[in-house]
Amino acid sequence: MAAGPVLVVDFGAQYAQLIARRVREAHVYSELVPHSMSVEQMLAMDPKAIILSGGPASVYVDGAPSIDPAIFTAGVPVLGICYGFQVMAHELGGKVDKAALGEYGKTVAVIDTPAGILQDSPSEQSVWMSHGVAVKEAPDGFAVLAHTAGAPVAAMQDPSRKLYGVQWHPEVRNTPLGQDLIFRFLHECAGLEADWDASNIIEDQVAKIRKAVGNHAVICGLSGGVDSAVAAALVHRAVGDQLTCVFVDHGLLRKGEVEQVKHDFVQATGIKLMAVDASEDFLTALKGVSEPERKRKIIGEKFIRTFEKAAREVVAQAGEQGQDVRFLVQGTLYPDVVESGGGDGAANIKSHHNVGGLPDDLNFELVEPLRLLFKDEVRAIGSELGLPDEIVWRQPFPGPGLGIRIIGDITRERLDLLREADAIAREELNRAGLDREIWQCPVVLLADVHSVGVQGDERTYGSPIVLRPVSSEDAMTADWSRLPYDVLAHISTRITNECSGINRVVLDVTSKPPATIEWE
């Protein structure tokens, strides 16, 4: 039995990393590789199985990405999904052409033969589709298992060669029986054992970090959020006191956050923490800037400059034995990478400060043990590492902080106003016991928008506050939370009463997509 990961070959899919994550959910380790990697290199990784992802191209168009057909005769079980399925059919002599009917979204699949990857399937399944190309005839040797209105061959298999393909997307939650198909491919068709969970990643990462860092000093950007806390805990387990965490107060934090992070983190972990007040520096650099990407780039750069200063301080404090700090740990997760345009062929939606916002002259080597993972996986690791619930279940808060929640330029007055409104919303949501139900609730100040109000019989001309409570599994998609009206009413009354200058509170009722969670 091969010892390597299940490889997910990325053909530029929206959901490639999601496939890897569903495989890990089925307790088999999985990693993503680009389709540009050669088949020899893939096989050198000793993969247990290979999954070919979806993608935007059409196989019959010149120059469309493909894969060396040697992959299909290497004896490694292969599952093709959507574009990957079309590639498999095309390369092995099947017929692939424009679909008579494109299918996007919820579709009914008729299961003609409930075998193999579709063993025990009901005769019809609701599946999630996104295709305009279809496999019209399966290659020789394949059995057709299912069809839909637009896909005469919607699933096929040749168990003797361990080759499987499906037109729909089993990796998205909108395909209710999708995980069942992935599970059957891995454990029944490919015969893999369920041998991976969060504790494996801890062992793996600790070993990798130890090897990379050696006996050098390391700093970790620590925000109090779960991602950096888990990254810090992993690095601490690997190299102990070589690690110093650096918490930056950039003036864009929420009310009470500095004291809370200093206290909770040190108490929970015992890791060395250096808190740096860099607010003057950040706010001066941000003066007069209202364009979101500019804000993000400035914040990303200032973070690094602050870490550089902190690193010099760490060296100075170490005295005689002090040596340069080469490594910077960040709690970067996969959604930060993909939204910054870092996926293979993915678009830049917004430059997360810790990825797309990094300056070109970065002198640190980055240590990002969570870079391929999603937040719920990180939470599982945090629990396994023994971090307290207050850290593991803390709602996300973006590194650029309130800076990307003031729509308009950033001033100290606007920050103070937003901080008050945000504190009220958080207090009331917490009091109503809604913390776990809500993924996070950005509170946004539309600083340049003014509307007329009447307070104490006087005319006011103030700015609105937007409440943006969302529910989500991994921040890649989100829906607006249906909060109880009385909680909303209470928050609205308190904000307008207590925050002078705010005369309106509005609720954002948009999902992601089409919106994003943060406004900038």
Ligand X SMILES: Nc1ncnc2c1ncn2[C@@H]1O[C@H](COP(=O)(O)OP(=O)(O)OP(=O)(O)O)[C@@H](O)[C@H]1O
Q: Which is nearer to ligand X, 253 or 466 (CB)?
A: 253
User: How many residues form the binding site for ligand XMP (CB under 6 A)?
Assistant: 16
Helix then strand then coil, % of the chain, to nearest 5? 35, 25, 40
Minimum Å distance from CB 344 to ligand GLN? Answer: 14
Mind spelling out the 3-state secondary structure of 87-137? HHHHHCCCEEEEEEEEEEEEEEEEECCCCHHHCCCCCEEEEEEEEEEEEEE
Nearest to 401 by CA among 417, 389, 418, 413: 418
Catalytic residue among 91, 103, 171, 377: 171
Minimum Å distance from CB 227 to ligand X? Answer: 3
228 known ligand binder: yes
Site of tokens 């919106």: 515
Nearest to 484 by CA among 464, 463, 507: 507
55 binding partner (options ligand X, ligand XMP, ligand GLN, none; Cβ < 5 to 8 Å by kind): ligand GLN
Please state, in angstroms and as integers, the Cα–Cα distance from residue 514 to each residue in 5, 13, 183, 477, 519, following that order: 34, 18, 31, 9, 12
Q: Does 58 bind ligand GLN (CB under 6 A)?
A: yes
User: How many residues form the binding site for ligand X (CB under 6 A)?
Assistant: 19
Cis peptide before 139 (omega within 30 of 0): no
Q: Is 32 helix (H, G, I), strand (E, B) or coil?
A: strand
Q: Rounded distance, CA 383 to CA 514, Å?
A: 33
Footprint of ligand XMP on 437-466 (CB under 6 A): 440
Q: Does 302 bind ligand XMP (CB under 6 A)?
A: no
Footprint of Mg ion on 225-264 (CB under 5 A): 225
481 known ligand binder: no
Q: Does 57 bind ligand GLN (CB under 6 A)?
A: yes
279 known ligand binder: no
Q: What DSSP designation does 319 have?
A: G
Q: Rounded distance, CA 336 to CA 241, Å?
A: 28
- The residue from 36, 38, 46, 56 that contacts ligand GLN (CB under 6 A) is 56
- The residue from 65, 84, 400, 403 that contacts ligand XMP (CB under 6 A) is 400
Surface-to-core class of residue 389, CB atoms within 10 Å of its CB (0-12 exposed, 13-18 middle, 19+ buried): exposed
- Which listed range, 90-98, 130-138, 243-251, 281-289, lies at the site for ligand X (CB under 6 A)? 243-251
- The residue from 399, 403, 464, 469 that contacts ligand XMP (CB under 6 A) is 399
475 binding partner (options Mg ion, ligand X, ligand XMP, none; Cβ < 5 to 8 Å by kind): ligand XMP
Q: Which is nearer to ligand GLN, 54 or 94 (CB)?
A: 54
Minimum Å distance from CB 337 to Mg ion? Answer: 15
Q: What DSSP designation does 306 have?
A: H
Q: Is 171 a catalytic residue?
A: yes
Nearest to 221 by CA among 343, 98, 357: 357
Q: Which is nearer to ligand GLN, 51 or 57 (CB)?
A: 57
- The residue from 12, 398, 469, 501 that contacts ligand X (CB under 6 A) is 398
- The residue from 91, 339, 420, 422 that contacts ligand XMP (CB under 6 A) is 339
500 known ligand binder: no
- The residue from 5, 80, 170, 331 that contacts ligand X (CB under 6 A) is 331
Minimum Å distance from CB 191 to ligand XMP? Answer: 38
Please state, in angstroms and as integers, the Cα–Cα distance from residue 27 to each residue in 155, 170, 179, 189, following that order: 24, 16, 12, 15
Surface-to-core class of residue 302, CB atoms within 10 Å of its CB (0-12 exposed, 13-18 middle, 19+ buried): buried
CA angle 156, 3, 213 (to 5 degrees): 125
Catalytic residue among 169, 236, 250, 353: 169
- The residue from 89, 111, 222, 424 that contacts ligand X (CB under 6 A) is 222
Footprint of ligand GLN on 69-88 (CB under 6 A): 82-83
Q: Which is nearer to Mg ion, 27 or 512 (CB)?
A: 512
Q: Does 512 bind ligand XMP (CB under 6 A)?
A: yes
Q: Rounded distance, CA 444 to CA 487, Å?
A: 18
Q: Is 82 a catalytic residue?
A: yes
- List helix spans (H) across 287-407: 292-318, 334-339, 375-384, 389-392
Q: Is 277 helix (H, G, I), strand (E, B) or coil?
A: strand
222 binding partner (options ligand X, ligand XMP, Mg ion, none; Cβ < 5 to 8 Å by kind): ligand X
Q: Rounded distance, CA 48 to CA 492, Å?
A: 55
Q: Which is nearer to Mg ion, 23 or 248 (CB)?
A: 248
Q: Does 80 bind ligand XMP (CB under 6 A)?
A: no
- List helix spans (H) across 340-411: 375-384, 389-392
- The residue from 77, 150, 398, 464 that contacts ligand XMP (CB under 6 A) is 398
Site of tokens 């059919």: 89
Binding string to Mg ion for residues 197 to 226, with x set by CB under 5 A, is what?
A: --------------------------x-x-
Structure tokens at 278: 């860099």
Nearest to 311 by CA among 380, 375, 248: 248
Q: Is 499 a catalytic residue?
A: no
Interface contacts to ligand GLN, rule CB under 6 A: 54-58, 82-83, 130-133
Q: Which residues are catalytic?
A: 82, 169, 171
* Annotated binding-site residue numbers for ATP: 223-229
Residue numbers at the binding site for Mg ion (CB under 5 A): 223, 225, 397
Which residues of the chain form contacts with ligand XMP (CB under 6 A)? Answer: 296, 339, 350, 352-354, 396, 398-400, 440, 475, 512, 516-518
- Please report, as ranges, the residues that interact with ligand X according to CB under 6 A: 221-223, 225-228, 246-248, 330-332, 336, 354, 396-399
Q: Summarize the annotated binding site as residue ranges.
A: 223-229
